[in-house]
Structure 1
Amino acid sequence: MKHNILWGIILLVASLSFTAKAQKAVQGQFSVKGVLLDSLSNEGEPYSTIRISLKNNPAKPVKLAVTGADGRFDERLAVPGTYLIHFTSVGKSPVQKEFSISANRRNVDLGKILIAEATEMLKGVEVVAQKPLVKAEIDKVTYSIEDDPDSKTNTTLEMLRKVPLVTVDGEDKIQVNGSSKFKVHVNGKPNNMMSNNPTEVLRSMPANSIKSIEVITEPGAKYDAEGVAGILNIITIGAGMEGYTVTLNGGASNMRVYGGGYGTVQSGKFTVTGNYSYNYQGSQKGFEDSYREDFTSQENKFLESHRRSKSYGNFQFGSLEGSYEIDTLNLISFSMNLMTGNFTNKRIGNTQMTNHAGNPVYGYGSLGNNESGFGEVGGNMDYQHSFKKKGELLTFSYRFSHSPNNSEANTDYEDTLNVPYLLQNQYFKNDASTQEHTAQLDYTNPINSIHSIETGIKYIFRRSKSDGKYYLADKTGEYKYDQDMSTQYDHKQDILAAYFGYQLKYKKLGGKAGIRYEHTFMDADYKNKDEKFDAQFDDLVPSLMFSYQLAPTQSLRASYNMRISRPGIWFLNPFTDTSNTTAISYGNRDLESEKAHSLSVTFGSFSQKFNVNVSANYSFVNNG
């Protein structure tokens, strides 16, 4: 009986596996294509909205897209069936076609489809518009995640591959405007957790919790002056009705297992949204081999090294957001987030030196183990007051974050043979953390439809602590504390900032100018070396931008931008490090901020299928 049950389970698992593979093989292999032409000129109808739905459920589209500049379209569909494809264009009568795809007819070519001018006299007009997925503005490009049907099943990281000016490579590494130096904001507020671990966090977030993603390539005066290539601003969705929604997700691969959930609850004026995800990730074994031949020596002729390594770890992410509408003019919102993670790397190595005849001269083996833990806990509290004039806002916000970052490593040597230099087993442990308090007051006033201004002040208090202890083993194997190699410091930083910005919008022309001032106080205390120092910085950061809208999805921009980079404590610390007598080092406490100036002219064209962004840039750096 037990054997029958066991065989039944095996057959059931095998059949489910076969079904899943068969389904996966079918999905994504269907397509429909054609070209939409103007009925009079017989020219391609550009950027016409395409809406594809199943015939038995026409109200719910399975695909939203636009035709290309020449009117052509080629769309992929997931499952077979009978579909309706609907075309709409400004000033034209809508066109609808029916088609079917099946296992025997996977690719459908609708050929030429004509769309005519709308000349009908109507008693009443019902306007039905489909929002464009991509919108280009003066200083940013916005991708509407909620209007893309793929967001119902994908993660935010997967949707990010569609966002213009953002690239996600095969290893899920993210770049904005060609650089990995970018910041992540959520609803306009900086989010250190996402900025430090964007891939892991965005992979954990379901895309149906996101309204849109803004790519800000030219940060203006409102944003921190510390140099970044751009900002990803993620706009989340609040609940739109009474009740609750819950979404669960999960998956597995040969290197990763993950799962999580997202939920929203709304009752009257109170809204709460929560998100949690857990990831476990492990890598395949890595191998590294190196060979070196010394042509100046016959004795130490060949050096050969072999290393093997493997790493694994887990990552957890959770967030909670809420808001309460006091009345039509006052809104309170809050958010909390928690992230923890730890990774382990183990490695084994072997090194051997041989002479010209291949005989061993010296050699040794090594064993290494590195463990690191990181995380962040933080919270936001915002109060927003709206004035009677639409768009006029006064916002006060406070943000706190605490980020522990601990590591532990040891290296042991074995099977040593005639090694001519000292090899000592070593152990290192570092307990570090950063706390940050931020208070900010912002005011926005759209004076009229053409002119608007924004201004604000900001204060940041940041404190970083690190206690790094280094131990070396003596000849007896006993570990002893090494004062010179160890570092224990307390680093405080106060930043006071104020900004003013002006924006112009007149027909297709846009302009934006701003100025930001930042004053920085810095104190550092190296407790184990009895060394203290301080520094101050004054930075004035201007920005200027002009744009011209060539078409709804095409723009031409010219801009000047300046970003700063403050010297870190390692560059400022005047303590003379003599632990290595052949490389004595010390810092300069009189260093000032690095100022990077950038001039650029950019042409952007964005559509559903094809995105082009061409830039001519000139940049120079003062006090690099």
Structure 2
Amino acid sequence: MRLLIILLLLTAISIVGEAQTAIIVKVLDSLETPVSKATVSLHKADTRTILKNSLTDSSGNAAFTGIVSGEYFISAASVGFLNASTGSFLIDTDQKKTVTRTVLLTRNVRELSGVTVTATKPLIEANEDRIAYNVELDLSLQGRSASEALAKLPFVSVDGNGGVYLKGQTSFQILLNGKQTSMFASNAGEVLKSFPANTISRIEVITNPSAKYEGEGLTGLINIITKKKVAGYNGHASFNYNTIGQVNPNASFNLKYGKLGITSFFYYARNLGFNTHGTQEYTALTNSSQFSRRYFADTGRHAGYNSGGNLELAYDIDSLQTISLYGRLSNGGNEPKQRSHIYTYDPAGTLIQQSYFETKENSDFPGGEIGFDYLRKLKKPGRSVSLNANRQFRKTIAIVNSDQYNSASDDRFLENISRAKNIQTTVQADYTVSFARRSKIEAGLRGIFREVSSAYISNVKKFHSDPYLSDPNNSNQLKYTQNVGGIYAVYTYSISEKKLMVKAGGRLEKTTVNGNFVSNNTKVEQDYYSFLPSISLNKTLKNGKRLSLAWNRRMARPGLGFLNPFRDNRDPLFITFGNERLRPEFANNIEVSVASFTQKITYSIAANASFVRSGIQRFITFDESTGISAQTYENIGQTDLFGLNGYLSYNISQKLSMTVSSNLNYAAIKNAAIKTEHRSGWYGSANASISYHLSGKTDLFSNINYSMAPVQLQGQNGDYLFYNIGSSYWIYKKKLMLSVALLNLFNKYWKTDNEFASASFRQQISTFRPMRAFSVGLRFNFGKLNETTSRKKGIAVDDTKQDIN
């Protein structure tokens, strides 16, 4: 608006006076982000003398007026950047009344004894629609995991099992460097506990994504950005171990040679095994003819592993073009064992049967992906085109053996074998154009093509020495395709003098589903459109605070874990299975927040509401005549959710800092199919962390987290408590570091109580798992100076809704 007024005045002056020209200057950094408060100078080209000076506004704009014909050039300078200037250019007032020039600034980075020194960045930053946590600046996370880093973010909580929640919900996307990855497609909590925080540069939280992003994920996005900044080479190698039996070696290596950049990291986490114990109780709330109560006394042992590796090659064709090739492999597996003594009672309380029940499971889920990114910045500043392609594959192989010895009925020996494969191909094209008045248009199209196949076989026998016989009623093969085509457009407009930014857009997607059960030739077909609009307003107040208001519509399509109809009948009286006919769930989200980001104190307070329809809910039915309970999923949830989120980061002194975050939510859920079934309740989390820089070599830290899982239609999982206290010590300069910590010092075990109930049946499960542990880690750093290696944009695709169980 200010520039418009200037131009109107110039037009009026030119009518009555000597012909003059206005020069509009836009100052951007290497990421095309406007640089505010930069000093801009207008020079006479022949004498290089400075004629005029100006400062850029919050949009990176400055203007010089009353310029007569001649030859000039413009220079720009700002703290933390190298000085830059334009080439010489001619002004002819008879031909042009307005001339526009852009100056690109490069950050000033210098090497000091192998340590990169740049302008100081705050731990928490806000940029348009996201909040960024600079993990690499947090010394207390040296040698820790991505799961522990996430626990320090606004809006995010992590429970004692590594489960991650965004605003108290599990339906969100986790991206890696701006794109969806097979690494987090299943068992995300376990992977994040294995993923080293040492390889992370920052983590971004987007609670109200614009229509630019894929429509999946009801509550938003978490984007983990790994370190990719190197000139020459750098990297790390570390090893962590704790007395619960968890071992985690990991490493990274980065190289920049000329125009070629290589970034890579690797991690492996092995759970050597820990023992658990607990109880299960199944109660018939009606007059069942089979039993009144079943009581389980359980002991178990849990072991497993997660591993992954990433390699990316980025080549700068020229100053405007970058091409990237990347590949990733991951693998994981679980090996749980459980032994149960089962006591079955009739309605009179008489013991009618005792059973010994033993189950063993062996599962593996290898996966990987390969991708291609091309980014071209057009000659006109603020304009770019990107083309991206990505192909992912993931397999799941699970074998479950259960042996059941009964005192009053036949023994039963079962073997269930399930094999599933998921292949996803994504292609995407995006175009961005920025205009002089700090407005921007982003548009693009995307296609996602998913192919799912699942084969499952159930074998059973009555005597241990007998051969297994196939159970044709629980054996089948599913072939399933899901194709999604989408187009989006987003418009951003900033009113600099009012410090207001408005972003509005819409996304239209078409989804086609075809499923086929080979054995009985049963087909599933779906064909639907989804329109997902979004709008947000961000206002910077006079005191530097940031006020935001946003609304959007999001969706979550069911993943294979929800769709797979395989009946897990290891316990013949409690069966679980998926539902291949599930449809997506939709949510309308509203959020208002106020935040302040400074070097000393950062805080944010946000209130949000979410209204979910066709929600996918787990539910249990009970057959009185057979005593069989069946658990599956259905689009029956109508949820009204209200939440309050708070975050505070306080640098008490140069050595002492702390963060506190919390979220409190109230959910009211109704069963759309059975109006009398409903549930409501409170849940949330609280997290606090403190770090103290004792000396140049030693840091002390402590974290505590308490969380309660979201309310579901028929129940709620139990709460978790995690806390630690530890120290890190640099043994050799900033190269070799030792870290030690005590985990849950006062709780050898943590008890988790899960309860689910329908009108006719109640399930109660209590589990004690070891929590107290001592951890130790070593980390070795090597390398030199930092600079950006990769500018690739990536495909920001989600996968699907994940179960919270």
TM-score, with length taken from structure 1? 0.70
Q: Is the CA contact 2:181–2:369 (under 8 Å) kept in the aligned structure 1?
A: no
Q: Is the CA contact 1:206–1:262 (under 8 Å) kept in the aligned structure 2?
A: no
Q: Which residue of 2 aligns with 1:78?
A: none
CA distance in structure 2 between the aligned counterparts of 1:463 and 1:168, rounded to whole angstroms: 32
Q: Is the CA contact 1:407–1:429 (under 8 Å) kept in the aligned structure 2?
A: yes
1:496 aligns with 2:496: no
- Return the offset for 1:200: 4.0
CA distance in structure 2 between the aligned counterparts of 1:566 and 1:263, rounded to whole angstroms: 36
Structure-to-structure mapping, 1:143-292, within 5 angstroms: 143-150=133-140, 154-242=144-232, 244-255=233-244, 256-289=246-279
CA distance in structure 1 between the aligned counterparts of 2:181 and 2:442, rounded to whole angstroms: 22
Q: Which residue of 1 aligns with 2:32?
A: none
CA distance in structure 2 between the aligned counterparts of 1:142 and 1:196, rounded to whole angstroms: 25
- Return the offset for 1:282: 4.1
SS in 1 for 2:228: coil
Q: Which has the higher contact order (CA 8 A, sep 6+)?
A: 2
Structure-to-structure mapping, 1:82-481, within 5 angstroms: 129-150=119-140, 154-242=144-232, 244-255=233-244, 256-289=246-279, 304-353=295-344, 361-414=352-405, 416-419=406-409, 423-474=411-462, 477-481=466-470
Q: Is the CA contact 2:509–2:529 (under 8 Å) kept in the aligned structure 1?
A: yes
Q: Is the CA contact 1:436–1:460 (under 8 Å) kept in the aligned structure 2?
A: yes
Q: Is the CA contact 2:524–2:580 (under 8 Å) kept in the aligned structure 1?
A: no
Classify 1:572/1:388 alpha carbon distance in 2 versus 1 (closer, same or farther; 3 Å).
same
- Return the offset for 1:154: 4.5
Which residue of 593, 601, 604 corresponds with 1:612? 604
Opposite residue 183 of structure 1, the aligned amino acid is: Q
**Cα distance per residue 1:491-543 (max 9 Å; x no partner):** 01111111000011223211110111111111111011122232211111111
CA distance in structure 1 between the aligned counterparts of 2:347 and 2:212, rounded to whole angstroms: 66
CA distance in structure 1 between the aligned counterparts of 2:284 and 2:477, rounded to whole angstroms: 41
Q: Is the CA contact 2:491–2:504 (under 8 Å) kept in the aligned structure 1?
A: yes
Q: Is the CA contact 1:570–1:587 (under 8 Å) kept in the aligned structure 2?
A: no
CA distance in structure 1 between the aligned counterparts of 2:451 and 2:486, rounded to whole angstroms: 18
- Return the offset for 1:447: 1.5
Classify 1:190/1:561 alpha carbon distance in 2 versus 1 (closer, same or farther; 3 Å).
same
Opposite residue 152 of structure 2, the aligned amino acid is: K
- Return the offset for 1:294: 9.4
Q: Is the CA contact 1:337–1:377 (under 8 Å) kept in the aligned structure 2?
A: yes
Classify 1:342/1:602 alpha carbon distance in 2 versus 1 (closer, same or farther; 3 Å).
same
Q: Which residue of 1 aligns with 2:656?
A: none
Classify 1:150/1:322 alpha carbon distance in 2 versus 1 (closer, same or farther; 3 Å).
farther
CA distance in structure 1 between the aligned counterparts of 2:256 and 2:503, rounded to whole angstroms: 38
SS in 2 for 1:227: coil
Opposite residue 339 of structure 1, the aligned amino acid is: S
Query: Which structure 2 residue ranges, 5 or more long, are not aligned?
Result: 1-78, 80-116, 567-571, 616-634, 636-805
**Cα distance per residue 1:113-162 (max 9 Å; x no partner):** xxxxxxxxxxxxxx995223322233211222344455665444433333
Which residue of 599, 612, 616 corresponds with 2:590? 599
Query: Which structure 1 residue ranges, 5 or more long, are not aligned?
Result: 1-89, 91-126
Classify 1:335/1:588 alpha carbon distance in 2 versus 1 (closer, same or farther; 3 Å).
closer
How many residue pairs are counted as aligned between the two chains? 487
Q: Is the CA contact 1:182–1:195 (under 8 Å) kept in the aligned structure 2?
A: no
Q: Is the CA contact 2:183–2:308 (under 8 Å) kept in the aligned structure 1?
A: no
RMSD: 3.6
Q: Is the CA contact 2:130–2:207 (under 8 Å) kept in the aligned structure 1?
A: yes
Classify 1:340/1:300 alpha carbon distance in 2 versus 1 (closer, same or farther; 3 Å).
closer
CA distance in structure 2 between the aligned counterparts of 1:609 and 1:171, rounded to whole angstroms: 31
SS in 1 for 2:502: strand
SS in 2 for 1:228: coil
Classify 1:616/1:573 alpha carbon distance in 2 versus 1 (closer, same or farther; 3 Å).
closer
Q: Is the CA contact 2:372–2:388 (under 8 Å) kept in the aligned structure 1?
A: yes
Opposite residue 156 of structure 2, the aligned amino acid is: V
SS in 2 for 1:159: helix
**Cα distance per residue 1:215-256 (max 9 Å; x no partner):** 1111111111123312112233334312x2231111111220
- Return the offset for 1:566: 4.2
CA distance in structure 1 between the aligned counterparts of 2:543 and 2:185, rounded to whole angstroms: 31
Identity %: 27
Classify 1:266/1:558 alpha carbon distance in 2 versus 1 (closer, same or farther; 3 Å).
same
- Return the offset for 1:319: 0.8
Structure-to-structure mapping, 1:453-602, within 5 angstroms: 453-474=441-462, 477-507=466-496, 508-550=499-541, 554-566=545-557, 593-602=584-593
- Return the offset for 1:444: 0.8
CA distance in structure 1 between the aligned counterparts of 2:578 and 2:347, rounded to whole angstroms: 42
Opposite residue 458 of structure 1, the aligned amino acid is: R
SS in 1 for 2:511: strand
CA distance in structure 2 between the aligned counterparts of 1:587 and 1:159, rounded to whole angstroms: 35
Q: Is the CA contact 1:412–1:426 (under 8 Å) kept in the aligned structure 2?
A: yes
CA distance in structure 1 between the aligned counterparts of 2:294 and 2:149, rounded to whole angstroms: 48
Classify 1:204/1:310 alpha carbon distance in 2 versus 1 (closer, same or farther; 3 Å).
closer
Where is the strand percentage greater, Structure 1 or Structure 2? Answer: 2
The range that moved more, 202-211 or 331-340, is 202-211
- Return the offset for 1:191: 1.9
Opposite residue 434 of structure 1, the aligned amino acid is: N
CA distance in structure 2 between the aligned counterparts of 1:207 and 1:571, rounded to whole angstroms: 31
Classify 1:308/1:531 alpha carbon distance in 2 versus 1 (closer, same or farther; 3 Å).
same
CA distance in structure 2 between the aligned counterparts of 1:495 and 1:154, rounded to whole angstroms: 38
- Return the offset for 1:307: 1.8
The range that moved more, 154-163 or 288-297, is 288-297
**Cα distance per residue 1:169-210 (max 9 Å; x no partner):** 343332222222221222322223135344444444444533
Classify 1:138/1:321 alpha carbon distance in 2 versus 1 (closer, same or farther; 3 Å).
same
CA distance in structure 2 between the aligned counterparts of 1:207 and 1:370, rounded to whole angstroms: 30
- Return the offset for 1:355: 8.2
**Cα distance per residue 1:525-566 (max 9 Å; x no partner):** 101112223221111111111121236863221121101244
CA distance in structure 1 between the aligned counterparts of 2:548 and 2:161, rounded to whole angstroms: 32
Opposite residue 473 of structure 1, the aligned amino acid is: K
CA distance in structure 1 between the aligned counterparts of 2:157 and 2:407, rounded to whole angstroms: 50
CA distance in structure 2 between the aligned counterparts of 1:290 and 1:134, rounded to whole angstroms: 44
- Return the offset for 1:267: 0.9
Q: Is the CA contact 2:296–2:342 (under 8 Å) kept in the aligned structure 1?
A: yes
Opposite residue 612 of structure 1, the aligned amino acid is: S
Q: Which residue of 1 aligns with 2:28?
A: none
TM-score, with length taken from structure 2? 0.55
CA distance in structure 2 between the aligned counterparts of 1:574 and 1:369, rounded to whole angstroms: 21
Q: Is the CA contact 2:385–2:432 (under 8 Å) kept in the aligned structure 1?
A: yes
